[in-house]
Amino acid sequence: DVSGVEKLVNCTSFPAWKLQTTVIFKSINAYDIVTCKTEEPKDPKEKATWLKRDADAQRVICTSIDRKFLNLILNCSTSHEMYSKICSLFEGESELKVQDLY
């Protein structure tokens, strides 16, 4: 449930969003997928479980960011791609790029 997560709306809300989503990813057993510590398994049963956990993480991401940022992750196919894209835009020097976007 992401109802209590501070929605990602700008650079100021990013640190709280990242912390809260990290806790959720860990609680749904998807943190290793989001951070790419485990790759998609070959075994069909393991793959089905992995895909479900990845989909759960994608749902967390998509429902906890402002709609204006959805277009930035439209072409991402995994939670890792989505999370990496968002983090790269909001961390460090990239903050200026995000401010220029909106």
The C-alpha torsion from 97 through 99 and 100 to 102, rounded to 10°, is 130
Q: Hey, how many other C-beta atoms are within 10 angstroms of the C-beta on 60?
A: 24
Interval 35-85: pLDDT, tens: 999 889 999 999 999 999 999 999 999 999 999 999 999 999 999 999 999
- Which residue, chain included where needed, has tokens 């993480």? 57
Domain residue limits, the chain: 14-101
Interval 10-30: pLDDT, tens: 989 999 999 999 999 999 999
Q: Rounded to two decimals, what is the model's pTM?
A: 0.87
